[in-house]
Amino acid sequence: MDRPLKSPGLHALEETFQRQVETSRGEPAPTLQARLDRLRRLRAAVTENEARFEAAISADFGHRSTVETVIAETMLVLGEIKHAAKHLKHWMAPQKIPTTLQFAPAKNRLIPQPLGVVGIMAPWNYPLQLTLAPAVAAIAAGNSAIIKPSELVPRFAELLMEVIAKKFDATELAVTDIDEEIAKAFVALPFDHLIFTGSTRVGRLVAEAAGRNLTPVTLELGGKSPAIVDGSADIDEATRRIAYGKLLNAGQTCIAPDYALVPEASVQSFAMRLQGHMQHMYGTDPANPDYTSIISDRHYTRLERLVADAAAKGASIMQPAAPNDPDWKGKRKFPPTVIVDATPEMAVMQEEIFGPLLPVMGYRDAADPIAYINKHDRPLALYWFGTDSAARDEVLARTVSGGVTVNDCLFHFAQAYQPMGGVGASGTGAYHGEWGFKTLTKLKPVFYRSRLNRLADLYPPYGAKIARLEKLMRYLS
C-alpha cells in the first residue's frame, strides 16, 4: 500500500530543517557583524509592519487593544533587539577562566559557540513577542531558528511567515505553517534546542517528545501565580495595580495574578476597591476599545464554567454584567469578574484561569499564604504587596517561583538584565537578554597547555617522580 503523501507544509518544514542543519554544521559560527545584521533585519521586519501586525492580532482575537499590542509586544521585542545588539560583542568574547594552580602556567578559556538549530513553539496570547523574543536570543547566539506560531492566530502566523521570508534566507530564520500535523512533526525534530511557551499540560508532551532526541528544552509554562496582600499593604494601591496586572490582555497572560490572598478582615474592602479600579480602567461598556476579547468561543465558555462552578460552591460573584449578556458575549468580551470567598475546592482555584477572573481568598495568619502556596505547584510568578520588609523577606525566602514583583505585577518580566523562566510545573530554563544568549550557546571549555608545565611527569613509567608530584598535588589541593 502506498504511503499517504506529506502535506506541502510538512515537506517544507523537513526541508527547511535539513537545510538549517547542513548550514550550521558546514559553516563557521556567524561573525559579530553577521549577527548584528540579522538583528537589524529583524528590527526592520517589526518596525516596517507594526500596523499590519496590530491589525492581524486584533482580527485573530476578535478585538485586541492596539495599545496593549504596542506596550506588551512591539516595544518589548524592539527592546530585546536593542539590548542584544548593544551587549553582543561582550557576550561573544571568550571568557578568561582561572587555572588550577598545579597546572600553571597553562590557561583556560570558555569559548561561546552556537548550538545549531533552534525550534521555537509560540503561544497565541502574545504572538509577536513570544515568537520573536526567543528568536532574538537564537540570532544573538549565532543559531538558525524555525518558528512554529499558534494555530489560534492564523492571520498573524500568515503575516509573520511573509515578513520573515522577505528579510531572511530560510537557512537563517523561517516560519512554519500552523496545522496540527506540523505541530506534531515539529516537536519530533532533533533540534539542538527547543523553546516552548504554553500550558503545563502541553509542556509535558513537548518535553517527552523532545526527550526522545535528547533535545534540551526551555519551557515557559504557567500555573497559578498568587498575589499576596500583606496586612501592611495600602489596599487601594494594591487593588489598582492588581487590577491592571489581571486585566491586561483580558487576563490572557501567563504571569497574570491568578488569585489574591488577603487578610480576612480586608476581603470585602479589597473586592470592592478592586471592582472599582477595574471599572475605572475599562468601564462597563463591552465596546470599550481598551478591553481585549477572549481568543475563542471555547475559552469564553470555559471561563463561564469556572464562574458558575464558583457560584454554585458558595462564592460571591462581582461583575458589571452577566457573561451571557449578548452585548458582551457577541464581542467575546468577558466581564471583569471578582470571585469573593473562593475556596480550594472550586475549579477556579485548581485550573490556570487565563482570563479576567480574580478569585479572592482570606487568610488569618501571616504564615497562611506561604503554607498554601507551598502545598501547590510552584508558580511562574508571585506578587507581594506591603511595607513590612521582614514579612516580605519571609515570603521571598520560604516560597519558590519563577519570578517576583514586589508592590506591583508583571514588571519583572520586562527587565532585560534579569532571566525569565519557571520552576517545576511552571517551566524549566530561562531566557531574555544575556540569559537567552547563554541558554542557546555552548560555552566550550578549552585548556591551553603550557610548555613549562610538568604534566609529562604524570606519564608512565612511574617511579620516584610520581611520588614527588603526588605530594605536590595533595599539598595544592
Yes or no: say if 102 and 476 are a contact pair by the CB < 8 Å rule.
Answer: yes
- Report DSSP letters for 151-170, one per residue: TT-HHHHHHHHHHHHHHS-T
- Out of 54, 73, 172, 220, the active site residue is 220
The residue type found at 313 is K
Active site residue 50: no
Rounded to whole angstroms, the Cα distance separating 326 from 276 reads 23
Rounded to whole angstroms, the Cα distance separating 340 from 67 reads 30
Estimate the share of the chain in helix, then strand, then coil, as percent rounded to the nearest 5: 50, 15, 35
Cα–Cα nearest to 383, from 221, 297, 260 = 260
Residues 6+ apart with CB under 8 A from 237: 385, 407
Rounded to whole angstroms, the Cα distance separating 193 from 426 reads 19
End-to-end CA distance of the chain: 68
Within 10 angstroms of residue 85's Cβ, the number of other Cβ atoms is: 16
Whether residue 105 has a cis bond before it, omega within 30° of 0: yes
Q: How many residues does the chain have?
A: 477
* Cell numbers describing residue 416: 532585560
Name the DSSP class of 295: S
E-only strand ranges, 86-200: 95-97, 107-114, 117-121, 144-148, 173-175, 193-197
- Out of 254, 352, 409, 434, the active site residue is 254
Backbone angles phi, psi at 211, to 5 degrees: -65, -25
E-only strand ranges, 364-457: 381-385, 403-406, 427-428, 441-448
Rounded to whole angstroms, the Cα distance separating 359 from 342 reads 6
Yes or no: say if 192 and 115 are a contact pair by the CB < 8 Å rule.
Answer: yes
Active site residue 409: no
Rounded to whole angstroms, the Cα distance separating 224 from 383 reads 11
Cα–Cα nearest to 84, from 357, 438, 334 = 438
Calculated CA dihedral for residues 135, 424, 386, 245, nearest 10 degrees: 40
**If 0-12 CB within 10 Å is exposed, 13-18 middle and 19+ buried, where does residue 298 land?**
exposed
E-only strand ranges, 391-461: 403-406, 427-428, 441-448
Rounded to whole angstroms, the Cα distance separating 248 from 129 reads 15
Please identify every residue annotated as catalytic. 220, 254
